Amino acid sequence: MNSALGAVQTAFWGIITFSILVVLHEMGHFLAARSFGVKTHEFMVGLPGPALRFHTRNMDWGITAVPLGGYVRIAGMEPGEEDDRLGDALIALRDAGTLDEEGLAQRLGIGTERAASMLTTLEDWKAARVSKDRYVFSVEGETDTMDRATLIAHARSFTYRGQSTPRRITILAMGVLTNLLVAILTFIIVLSVWGYFDLTLRVDSVGEGTPALAAGLQVGDTLVAVDGETFADWNEFQALMQDTLPGESVTITVERGGNTLQLPATLADKDGHGYLGVGPTAVQVRPTILQSLTESLRYVGLVFGMILSLFNPSTFSNTVQNFTGVIGVSVMAEEAAEAGPLSYATLIAMLSLSLGAMNILPVPPLDGGKIALEIVERIRRKPLSRAVTLGFSAIGAVMLFSLIGYIMYLDIIRFAT
C-alpha cells in the first residue's frame, strides 16, 4: 500500500514538473505569435485529447484528460505548399457567407476532397469557423470590396505562414529562449539571495577503514596534490581521482598547521577507480547579482556542452549514461518538493535549461529542426512539400523517442536496483 502511494506521489510530482516546464516553453511560442498579430486556436495544459476548456473572444484555454506537458496551436503552421485556388475558395466563402464541401466544390468546379482540404486550411487560418457542419467566413476587417489577391494576403497576414522568415524563426525560438531566461533568472535569484555551498579542499571527514585514515590524513588538512599534480578545487581533485586505479600507490600532499606533508596511500576501489576516503568542507557563498549571472551563464555553457557531446561518437555513450528521463525526473521532483520551495525552484531551473538546450537541436520535430527547415525554405525560395516535411519530422521523432526510450530504460535500472 505504501509503495503504491509512493508511486502515485512520484507520478504526481512528475506530472506537475513536466507541465510547468512545457507550459513555460509553449508560453514563449504563444507570446511571440501574439506579438506579431498571429492568431492562435488554443493553449492547453496536457496532451491533445478530451479537455475541460473555456472560450475567450479569440481562442480556447483548458486542461486535457492527460495533464502531462502542454501545447499551443498557432494558426497557419501546417507544412506544405498552398493550394493555388485557395484564394478562389476564400472569395467563394465570403460571397456565400457559409458553405460546405459540396457547395464549394460546385462553385469552383473541383472535387469534394480538394474542397474539403481547402476549407480545412481556411479553418486552420481562422479565416473560417465551423458551425453545424458548415464553414462560416470569419476574416476580420472590411473585406467586402477586397479582390482575390488582397483578400488572401489579408487572411494570411494573421497566420504563421504569412510572417517573414525572421518572424517565423522568432516564434519557433521563443520557447527555447523562455526556458533559458526562466532558468537564468531563477539561478540569479537563488544564488544572490540564498547563495550556495562551495566544496573546498579542506578535509571535513576521514572515513573509517579508508586509505586516507591509514595514510594519516586528518580533519582540517588541506589537500594540495596527488603525486605532485596540483588542483584548484574539489571538482578537479575528484576528476584526478577518476583517472587513478584501485590498488594504486600515490603520494598525497597536504597542508597541516602551516606545514606541508607528503603522505603515501594505497587507493581502494570505488566504481572501478581509485578511492581515498575523504570528505570536503562546505562553505556558504553569497555572490553578487553580477557574479550570480556569470555563474548562471556557466551553467548554461555546461549544459550546452553536454548536449553537443551527443554528436561526438566518442562521448555519446558516457553522455547518455548521465541523462535522466521521465522516471528519474519524477523521483528528483518529489525529493526536491519535500526538501522545500528553494530546492524545487532550483530543480525547475535546471530542467528548464536542459529542455531549452535539447529543443534547439537541429532535429525535426524539435524547434531547432523546424528552424533549420525554415532556413532551407528561405534559401530555395519556396516551401518544402508536405510529404518531405512530415518525412523529416517522422525520422527525427523516431530518433528522439528511441533516445527517450533508452534513457527511460536506464532510469528503470537505476531506480529498481
Residue 40 and residue 51 in one domain: yes
Which of 285, 305, 340 is the last residue before a domain boundary? 285
pLDDT higher than threshold 60 for residue 371? yes
Which residues make beta-bridge pairs with 135?
A: 99, 130
Residue 336 lies in a domain: yes
Residue 294 and residue 366 in one domain: yes
pLDDT higher than threshold 50 for residue 131? yes
pLDDT higher than threshold 90 for residue 178? yes
Residue 111 and residue 231 in one domain: no
Number of folded domains that form the chain:
4
Give pLDDT tens digits for 214-252. Answer: 999 999 999 999 999 999 999 999 989 988 999 999 999
Residue 178 and residue 202 in one domain: no
Residue 135 and residue 203 in one domain: no
User: What DSSP line would sit under 344-390, residue for residue?
Assistant: HHHHHHHHHHHHHHHHTSS-TTSHHHHHHHHHHHHHHTSPPPHHHHH
**pLDDT score, position 1:** 46
Residue 244 contacts residue 186 (beta carbons within 8 Å): no
Residue 80 lies in a domain: no
Which of 285, 320, 345 is the last residue before a domain boundary? 285
Residue 82 lies in a domain: no
Among the listed residues 158, 200, 164, the one whose alpha carbon sits nearest the alpha carbon of residue 34: 158
The boundaries of the domain holding residue 214 are: 196-285
Q: How far lies 99's CA from each of 73, 107, 118, 153, 158, in Å? A: 24, 10, 12, 21, 22
Residue 326 and residue 243 in one domain: no
> Which positions ≥6 away from 4 have C-beta within 8 Å?
none
Residue 209 and residue 244 in one domain: yes
Percent of the chain beyond pLDDT 70? 98
Strands (E), 177-266: 196-206, 222-226, 229-230, 249-256, 259-266
Mean pLDDT over residues 155-177, rounded? 94
Output the domain CATH number for residue 229.
Answer: 2.30.42.10
pLDDT higher than threshold 80 for residue 314? no
Residue 48 and residue 109 in one domain: no
pLDDT higher than threshold 70 for residue 188? yes
pLDDT higher than threshold 90 for residue 92? yes
Residue 85 lies in a domain: no
Residue 310 and residue 334 in one domain: yes
**pLDDT score, position 8:** 81
Residue 238 lies in a domain: yes
Residue 292 and residue 179 in one domain: yes
Which of 48, 74, 100 is the last residue before a domain boundary? 74
Average pLDDT, the chain: 88
Residue 185 and residue 321 in one domain: yes
Residue 86 lies in a domain: no
Residue 258 lies in a domain: yes
Of residues 95 and 10, the one with the higher pLDDT is: 95
Residue 39 lies in a domain: yes
Output the domain CATH number for residue 136.
Answer: 1.10.10
Residue 251 and residue 303 in one domain: no
Give pLDDT tens digits for 326-351. Answer: 778 888 888 888 888 888 888 899 88
Strands (E), 98-195: 98-99, 128-131, 134-137
Give pLDDT tens digits for 93-125. Answer: 999 999 999 999 999 999 999 999 999 999 999
Name residue, grid cell 492547453.
Answer: 44
Residue 271 contacts residue 241 (beta carbons within 8 Å): no
